[in-house]
Amino acid sequence: MNLIIKRVFTFIFIVVTLFFIGYVCQLYKHTFIKLSLASKLNIVKNPSVLYLLSPLFFWIASRTFLFKNANGPLMNNVYTLFKNLNEPNTFKKIIPFSSLLAAVASSLITIFSGGSLGSETIIIYISILLFLYIFNSFKEYLVEINFENLLYLCYIFGVTIAFKSPLSSAVLVLEKSLRENSKKIVSNFIFCIIGILIAYSLVDKNKDILLHRLCHLHTAHPIFCSIHF
Protein backbone atom coordinates (compact mmCIF):
# COMPACT_ATOMS: atom_id res chain seq x y z
CA MET A 1 0.00 0.00 0.00
CA ASN A 2 2.85 2.36 0.87
CA LEU A 3 4.41 1.65 -2.54
CA ILE A 4 1.16 2.56 -4.31
CA ILE A 5 0.94 5.83 -2.37
CA LYS A 6 4.58 6.57 -3.16
CA ARG A 7 3.99 5.94 -6.87
CA VAL A 8 0.96 8.23 -6.89
CA PHE A 9 2.94 10.91 -5.06
CA THR A 10 5.81 10.54 -7.54
CA PHE A 11 3.45 10.98 -10.50
CA ILE A 12 1.87 14.08 -8.93
CA PHE A 13 5.33 15.41 -8.11
CA ILE A 14 6.48 15.01 -11.73
CA VAL A 15 3.37 16.71 -13.08
CA VAL A 16 3.62 19.65 -10.66
CA THR A 17 7.36 20.01 -11.32
CA LEU A 18 6.81 20.09 -15.09
CA PHE A 19 4.14 22.77 -14.74
CA PHE A 20 6.52 24.81 -12.59
CA ILE A 21 9.37 24.41 -15.08
CA GLY A 22 7.00 25.28 -17.91
CA TYR A 23 6.17 28.52 -16.11
CA VAL A 24 9.89 29.27 -15.69
CA CYS A 25 10.48 28.62 -19.40
CA GLN A 26 7.59 30.88 -20.39
CA LEU A 27 8.88 33.58 -18.05
CA TYR A 28 12.31 33.31 -19.65
CA LYS A 29 10.85 33.48 -23.16
CA HIS A 30 8.73 36.54 -22.32
CA THR A 31 11.75 38.27 -20.80
CA PHE A 32 13.86 37.31 -23.82
CA ILE A 33 11.31 38.84 -26.21
CA LYS A 34 10.92 42.04 -24.18
CA LEU A 35 14.68 42.57 -24.06
CA SER A 36 14.95 41.87 -27.79
CA LEU A 37 12.30 44.48 -28.58
CA ALA A 38 13.89 46.96 -26.17
CA SER A 39 17.21 46.47 -27.95
CA LYS A 40 15.63 47.20 -31.35
CA LEU A 41 14.00 50.36 -30.04
CA ASN A 42 17.28 51.50 -28.47
CA ILE A 43 19.01 51.18 -31.83
CA VAL A 44 16.67 53.89 -33.13
CA LYS A 45 16.14 56.04 -30.05
CA ASN A 46 19.56 55.85 -28.38
CA PRO A 47 22.08 54.53 -30.95
CA SER A 48 25.04 56.34 -29.42
CA VAL A 49 24.33 55.01 -25.92
CA LEU A 50 23.90 51.46 -27.24
CA TYR A 51 27.09 51.84 -29.25
CA LEU A 52 28.98 52.62 -26.04
CA LEU A 53 27.27 50.09 -23.79
CA SER A 54 27.09 47.10 -26.13
CA PRO A 55 30.79 46.20 -25.82
CA LEU A 56 30.45 46.34 -22.03
CA PHE A 57 27.36 44.12 -22.03
CA PHE A 58 29.00 41.65 -24.41
CA TRP A 59 32.05 41.54 -22.16
CA ILE A 60 29.86 40.81 -19.13
CA ALA A 61 28.00 38.10 -21.06
CA SER A 62 31.29 36.52 -22.11
CA ARG A 63 32.24 35.98 -18.45
CA THR A 64 30.30 32.71 -18.62
CA PHE A 65 33.63 31.02 -19.37
CA LEU A 66 34.28 31.37 -15.63
CA PHE A 67 31.54 28.78 -15.08
CA LYS A 68 32.00 25.18 -16.13
CA ASN A 69 30.34 24.39 -19.48
CA ALA A 70 28.26 27.59 -19.39
CA ASN A 71 29.44 28.84 -22.79
CA GLY A 72 30.06 27.38 -26.20
CA PRO A 73 27.72 24.86 -27.89
CA LEU A 74 25.43 24.11 -24.95
CA MET A 75 23.60 21.25 -26.67
CA ASN A 76 26.86 19.29 -26.68
CA ASN A 77 26.48 19.09 -22.90
CA VAL A 78 23.00 17.65 -23.35
CA TYR A 79 24.33 15.03 -25.79
CA THR A 80 26.98 14.12 -23.20
CA LEU A 81 24.20 13.39 -20.71
CA PHE A 82 22.60 11.00 -23.20
CA LYS A 83 25.94 9.25 -23.62
CA ASN A 84 26.21 8.70 -19.85
CA LEU A 85 22.81 7.20 -19.06
CA ASN A 86 24.39 4.68 -16.70
CA GLU A 87 25.68 7.50 -14.49
CA PRO A 88 22.55 9.32 -13.21
CA ASN A 89 24.48 11.87 -11.15
CA THR A 90 26.85 12.89 -13.91
CA PHE A 91 24.72 15.94 -14.78
CA LYS A 92 25.96 17.65 -11.60
CA LYS A 93 29.57 17.29 -12.74
CA ILE A 94 28.94 18.23 -16.36
CA ILE A 95 26.68 21.22 -15.70
CA PRO A 96 26.68 22.65 -12.17
CA PHE A 97 23.56 24.60 -11.23
CA SER A 98 25.57 27.83 -11.19
CA SER A 99 26.46 27.21 -14.83
CA LEU A 100 22.77 26.98 -15.74
CA LEU A 101 22.12 30.35 -14.08
CA ALA A 102 25.15 31.85 -15.83
CA ALA A 103 23.99 30.59 -19.24
CA VAL A 104 20.50 32.03 -18.75
CA ALA A 105 21.84 35.41 -17.57
CA SER A 106 24.36 35.55 -20.41
CA SER A 107 21.71 34.91 -23.07
CA LEU A 108 19.49 37.70 -21.73
CA ILE A 109 22.36 40.18 -21.50
CA THR A 110 23.50 39.29 -25.02
CA ILE A 111 20.07 39.78 -26.57
CA PHE A 112 19.64 43.12 -24.79
CA SER A 113 23.03 44.19 -26.16
CA GLY A 114 21.79 43.69 -29.69
CA GLY A 115 23.10 40.18 -30.19
CA SER A 116 21.26 37.70 -32.37
CA LEU A 117 20.34 34.58 -30.43
CA GLY A 118 17.46 32.14 -30.21
CA SER A 119 15.72 31.18 -27.00
CA GLU A 120 15.18 27.51 -27.86
CA THR A 121 18.48 26.07 -26.61
CA ILE A 122 18.22 27.82 -23.24
CA ILE A 123 14.59 26.68 -22.84
CA ILE A 124 15.65 23.06 -23.42
CA TYR A 125 18.61 23.60 -21.07
CA ILE A 126 16.33 24.95 -18.33
CA SER A 127 13.86 22.10 -18.77
CA ILE A 128 16.47 19.38 -18.48
CA LEU A 129 18.67 20.72 -15.71
CA LEU A 130 15.99 22.26 -13.51
CA PHE A 131 13.98 19.03 -13.63
CA LEU A 132 16.98 16.81 -12.87
CA TYR A 133 18.13 19.01 -9.98
CA ILE A 134 14.63 19.20 -8.47
CA PHE A 135 13.97 15.48 -8.87
CA ASN A 136 17.37 14.64 -7.41
CA SER A 137 16.71 16.85 -4.38
CA PHE A 138 13.54 14.91 -3.49
CA LYS A 139 14.52 11.46 -4.75
CA GLU A 140 14.43 9.83 -1.30
CA TYR A 141 10.71 10.58 -1.10
CA LEU A 142 9.98 9.36 -4.63
CA VAL A 143 9.84 6.05 -6.45
CA GLU A 144 13.11 5.32 -8.21
CA ILE A 145 12.80 6.01 -11.94
CA ASN A 146 15.37 5.07 -14.54
CA PHE A 147 17.56 8.04 -15.43
CA GLU A 148 17.04 7.48 -19.16
CA ASN A 149 13.27 7.86 -18.78
CA LEU A 150 13.71 11.07 -16.78
CA LEU A 151 16.19 12.54 -19.25
CA TYR A 152 13.97 11.82 -22.24
CA LEU A 153 10.98 13.26 -20.35
CA CYS A 154 12.53 16.63 -19.53
CA TYR A 155 14.34 16.85 -22.89
CA ILE A 156 11.18 16.33 -24.93
CA PHE A 157 9.24 18.60 -22.57
CA GLY A 158 11.70 21.41 -23.32
CA VAL A 159 11.62 20.72 -27.07
CA THR A 160 7.81 20.94 -27.06
CA ILE A 161 7.84 24.21 -25.09
CA ALA A 162 10.45 25.66 -27.45
CA PHE A 163 8.99 24.59 -30.80
CA LYS A 164 5.28 24.06 -30.00
CA SER A 165 5.04 20.90 -32.10
CA PRO A 166 3.78 17.88 -30.11
CA LEU A 167 3.73 15.58 -33.14
CA SER A 168 7.36 16.37 -33.98
CA SER A 169 8.28 15.82 -30.32
CA ALA A 170 6.61 12.40 -30.32
CA VAL A 171 8.47 11.40 -33.50
CA LEU A 172 11.72 12.70 -32.00
CA VAL A 173 11.34 10.40 -28.97
CA LEU A 174 11.03 7.32 -31.17
CA GLU A 175 13.74 8.45 -33.57
CA LYS A 176 16.26 9.19 -30.83
CA SER A 177 15.47 6.01 -28.89
CA LEU A 178 15.92 3.88 -32.02
CA ARG A 179 19.07 5.69 -33.08
CA GLU A 180 20.60 5.17 -29.64
CA ASN A 181 19.54 1.50 -29.64
CA SER A 182 17.64 2.08 -26.43
CA LYS A 183 16.04 -0.87 -24.64
CA LYS A 184 13.47 1.45 -23.11
CA ILE A 185 11.73 2.73 -26.23
CA VAL A 186 8.22 2.05 -24.90
CA SER A 187 8.81 3.53 -21.43
CA ASN A 188 10.61 6.53 -22.95
CA PHE A 189 7.62 7.16 -25.20
CA ILE A 190 5.10 6.83 -22.34
CA PHE A 191 7.00 9.26 -20.13
CA CYS A 192 7.46 11.71 -22.99
CA ILE A 193 3.76 11.67 -23.89
CA ILE A 194 3.09 12.98 -20.37
CA GLY A 195 5.66 15.72 -20.89
CA ILE A 196 4.35 16.60 -24.35
CA LEU A 197 0.75 16.93 -23.14
CA ILE A 198 1.73 19.17 -20.23
CA ALA A 199 4.08 21.30 -22.36
CA TYR A 200 1.52 21.77 -25.11
CA SER A 201 -1.11 22.81 -22.56
CA LEU A 202 1.20 25.64 -21.48
CA VAL A 203 2.12 27.15 -24.85
CA ASP A 204 -0.01 29.54 -26.87
CA LYS A 205 -1.22 27.51 -29.84
CA ASN A 206 -2.92 30.42 -31.62
CA LYS A 207 -0.01 32.75 -32.11
CA ASP A 208 3.68 33.12 -31.49
CA ILE A 209 4.42 35.71 -28.83
CA LEU A 210 7.27 37.29 -30.79
CA LEU A 211 5.26 37.70 -33.97
CA HIS A 212 2.29 39.06 -32.02
CA ARG A 213 4.39 41.73 -30.32
CA LEU A 214 6.22 42.71 -33.49
CA CYS A 215 2.98 43.05 -35.43
CA HIS A 216 1.80 45.63 -32.90
CA LEU A 217 5.07 47.53 -33.24
CA HIS A 218 5.10 47.24 -37.04
CA THR A 219 2.81 50.24 -37.42
CA ALA A 220 4.26 52.02 -34.42
CA HIS A 221 7.81 52.45 -35.66
CA PRO A 222 9.53 52.45 -39.09
CA ILE A 223 12.30 50.09 -37.93
CA PHE A 224 9.85 47.19 -38.05
CA CYS A 225 8.49 48.01 -41.49
CA SER A 226 11.32 46.08 -43.15
CA ILE A 227 10.72 42.94 -41.13
CA HIS A 228 9.12 40.17 -43.16
CA PHE A 229 7.68 36.93 -41.86
The predicted-structure confidence for 47-80, as pLDDT tens digits, reads as follows 777 777 888 888 888 888 889 888 878 889 999 9
Q: Where are the domains of the chain?
A: 2-224
Cβ–Cβ under 8 Å, residues 173 and 189: yes
Alpha helices in the chain (DSSP H): 2-45, 47-61, 74-83, 90-94, 97-112, 120-137, 147-163, 166-179, 185-202, 209-218
In three-state secondary structure terms, 63 is helix
What's the pTM? 0.84
Buried residues in 179-214 as b, exposed as e (16+ CB within 10 A): ebebebbebbbebbbbbbebbbebbeeeeeeeeebb
Rounded Cα gap, residues 122 and 165, in angstroms: 17
**Mind listing the pLDDT tens digit for each residue in 123-179?**
999 999 999 999 999 999 999 999 999 999 999 999 999 999 999 999 999 999 999
Cβ–Cβ under 8 Å, residues 193 and 157: no
